[in-house]
Structure 1
Amino acid sequence: MGNMVEPVKPRIIRGSRGKTFLLLLACPLFFLAGIGTVRSPTGGHVVGWIGIFFSGLSVPFLIRSLIRPHTLTLDDSGFMIDAGPKKVAWQDIKGFHVWRPRNRSKLIGYNFEPGARKDTSLMRINRRLGAEGCLPGGWQFSPDKMVEILNAYRVQALARQAEHARLSGLG
């Protein structure tokens, strides 16, 4: 039993209720702006209806996120968002980076190692934009801090996996 490698302690990072609340407060403003645009004699009706539709559609999702914030679960084998159907293994990604698609809000992006995932057309489009995968926004920490936390956790988990393989005689 002296060859046991201690697994990396699981960690759960939750979405920020404060950030969600601010988005929820902004929805009526976008809704009213959409109504104003639709009623405007100068046009912009399509843009107005799009604003009304998306601001109204986002309210139930934001209320759900206020009640039950999304979670990112990290463990020694990989990460998973909200107990989703797919866990992403640490060895399948190259690491995390701050991604700003088209100079918009900062997101947490990552790219897959070659051969780790099937190269789909969506993945190729995303790669051209700067990240093959990304995490949703709205976490307790800034995207910069999240990247720091995730990369440190990934390095630690991969080191533990390598040590376990070495001690098991598999590596």
Structure 2
Amino acid sequence: MSLPEFEELTSSRGKAAIGLIGCLAFVAISLFAEQSGDTSWKLQAGGIFFGLCALTFVAMLIRPHRLRLDPEGFTLSGGLTRTPRKIGWRHVGEFYVRPLSHGASMVAFKYADEAVVPFGGVLGKSGGIPGVWPDGPDALAYMLNDYRDAALSHR
């Protein structure tokens, strides 16, 4: 792989819109059920939860996640991230797809032994790349591994 100056990926607004529609549907179901007389605390908690999830999807529509790759490392910005987070290629190991729940997955990586890990490593020595990317997590992990290998071999 020839190493480009930089490459920038933007998370899928279409997938974020689908998530927003799904969350709003659950909020509507919760509201209609409450009006019909069912005031279960579980129903109210579900409505609040999906309402908060809807706000998250709105943020992802307004400020989609951006992943910028350059010869030094990758920078993650957008979404609910207030300040961009830059991580050097030499600080990460292989990227892989980590299954979450109900068929969902995300791209994850392990920090290298000499890397400075967030929170002093209390939460573990791995990190993740949030977002709903156009080609899916498998293609993103493959591309990140290729880019990392090319960047480290050009040093």
Output the CA distance in 2 between the equivalents of 1:48 and 1:61.
20
1:121 match:
122
Q: Does 1:59 align with 2:60?
A: no
Would the alpha carbon gap of residues 37 and 75 (structure 1) be closer, same or farther in structure 2, given more than 3 Å must change? Answer: farther
* Bigger Rg over Cα: 1
* More helix by percentage: 1
What's the offset of the Cα at 1:54?
2.4
The two structures have a TM-score, normalised by structure 1, of 0.73
Output the CA distance in 1 between the equivalents of 2:103 and 2:121.
24
CA RMSD of aligned residues (A): 2.5
Check whether the contact 2:65–2:131 (CA below 8 A) recurs between aligned residues. Answer: no
- Equivalent residue for 1:23, pick from 10, 19, 40: 19
1:152 match:
146
Q: Specify every segment of 5 or more residues in structure 1 that has no aligned partner in the other structure, as ranges.
A: 1-5, 162-171
1:166 match:
none
Count of equivalent residues? 146
Q: Specify every segment of 5 or more residues in structure 2 that has no aligned partner in the other structure, as ranges.
A: none
1:71 match:
66
Would the alpha carbon gap of residues 140 and 121 (structure 1) be closer, same or farther in structure 2, given more than 3 Å must change? Answer: same
Would the alpha carbon gap of residues 8 and 159 (structure 1) be closer, same or farther in structure 2, given more than 3 Å must change? Answer: farther
Output the CA distance in 2 between the equivalents of 1:34 and 1:121.
38
Q: Could you tell me which amino acid in structure 1 is paired with residue 142 of structure 2?
A: E
1:21-41 per-residue CA deviation (whole Å, 9 max, x = no partner) reads 101111122213434379537
Q: Percent identity?
A: 27
Output the CA distance in 2 between the equivalents of 1:102 and 1:23.
15
Output the CA distance in 2 between the equivalents of 1:22 and 1:101.
19
* More strand by percentage: 2
